[in-house]
Amino acid sequence: MTAPLLDARNLSRHYRMPRTSLLRAPPVLTAVDNVSFTIRAGETLGIVGESGSGKSTLARMVMAFEQPDAGAIVFEGQNLHNLSASALRKLRQRFQMVFQDPFGSLDPRRRVGWSIAEPLRAIGVDADTNRRTVEALEQVGLHPRDANKYPHEFSGGQRQRIAIARAIVTRPALLVADEAVSALDVSVQAQILNLLMDLQDDLGLGILFISHDLAVVASICDQLLVMQNGKPVEAGPAAEVLRNPAHLYTQTLLKAAGVTA
């Protein structure tokens, strides 16, 4: 058994809410409560839950945008939240993210090629920026000359391809996809899911795939973690969980996703 690519242990995250009264202590919201999971290279872990389930907070902690209040995230043997700012910036090329909103995740004032090359500039790669940008564009099924266009010239699906190109341009080991296909039309959704699978096969990516849609998760994930109100309610191999959902909540989600319910 090889060491996992990402090992998240007993993560918790609390938010202090605004005070309701001067005298009482401010209420505390537990967004993530004692969640553990691992992701191996070439494997996809799906995290399913609805708004308020804590899945996006989890993604932000894995991306080291936020510190967990308890627990640790170990990526390629390094504890993400013990690293110095500069060491973390360097390590960031190894884990990248694709966001939900294909219209918000690209700077409207920058050419697509500029945005795709941004992670390369961040780590100080100057020499073959152009070559690698073109390579990334081709990997996601776009044309090299698309680099000179602006985001508004593309459809939602194409923009999500661009966002994926930006995420893989540094040749990362882990991709975090937060509702990456939720905003897309059904016919485009399948294209993007297939693209993620192709990239995973070609590059051996580990993928953390976050979604509220069980049907989408089922089509791409090996492992599954179902979350409700910040707590993990069910976890295991995706096929197992979907065939025999043990928790009532998983059953509800499955019912909502079925065309022939």
Partner 1 sequence: MRRLPANFIIGAILVTLVVGAAALSLVWTPHEATQMNIRDKFAPPSAEHWLGTDQLGRDVVSQLMAAARNSMSVALIAVLLGGSIGVALGLLASAIGGWVEDGVMRLADLGFAFPALLFAIMLAAVFGPSLTNAVLAIAFINIPVFARVTRGSANQVWTLDYVSAARAAGMNRFAISRDHILPNIAAAIIVQATIEFAVAILAEAALSYLGLGAQPPAASWGRMLSEAQTLMYLAPQLAIYPGLCIVIAVLGFGLLGDGLRDITDPRLTRER
Partner 2 sequence: MFQLTGFTASFGSATALRRADLTIRQGDRLGIVGESGSGKTMLALCLMGMAPDAAQLDGRLEIDGHDMTHATETAWQHMRARRVAMIFQEPMAALNPLRRVGDTVMEPMIVHERLGRDQARQRALSLFEEVGIPDPVARLRQFPHELSGGQRQRVLIALALACNPDLLIADEPTTALDANVALRITDLLVRLATERGMALVFITHDLAAVARATQDIVVMYGGDMVERGTTAEVLADPAHPYTKGLLGARPDPTAQARDHNGKRRRLPTIPGTVPPLFSLPQGCRFAGRCPVEIPRCATNRPAPQDLGANRIAACHLLRGQRP
Residues within the interface to partner 1 (CB under 8 A): 63, 65, 89-90, 92-93, 96-97, 99-101, 104-110, 115, 118-119, 121-123, 163, 166-167, 170
Residue 117's closest CA among 191, 169, 181? 169
Cβ 206 to partner 1 shortest distance, Å: 16
Closest distance to partner 2 from the beta carbon of 237 (Å): 10
- In the list partner 1, partner 2, none, the entry touching 259 (Cβ below 5 to 8 angstroms by class) is partner 2
Cα separation values, 156 from 163, 167, 219, 233, Å: 10, 17, 21, 33
Which burial class, exposed, middle or buried, applies to 108 when counting CB atoms under 10 A from its CB (0-12, 13-18, 19+)?
exposed
- Nearest distance from C-beta of residue 159 to partner 2, angstroms: 10
Q: Please, which residue, 80 or 242, has the CB nearer to partner 2?
A: 242
Query: Alpha-carbon distance 177 to 199, whole Å?
Result: 13
Cα(37)–Cα(9) distance, rounded to whole angstroms?
Answer: 7
Please report, as ranges, the residues that interact with partner 2 according to CB under 8 A: 44, 50-51, 155-158, 185-191, 193-194, 197, 200-201, 212, 214-216, 218-222, 238-239, 242-243, 252-261
Cβ–Cβ contacts within 10 Å for residue 260, how many? 3
Residue with tokens 């266009």: 149
Contacted entry of partner 2, partner 1, none for residue 34, CB cut-off 5 to 8 Å set by kind: none
What's the closest the beta carbon of residue 123 comes to partner 1, in angstroms? 6
Tokens of 169: 């341009």
Cα-based distances in Å from 137 to 42, 71, 133, 259? 21, 37, 6, 35
Binder of residue 170, out of partner 1, partner 2, none (CB less than 5 to 8 A by kind): partner 1
Nearer to partner 1, 121 or 255 (CB): 121
Binds 201, which of partner 1, partner 2, none (CB < 5 to 8 A, cut-off by type)? partner 2
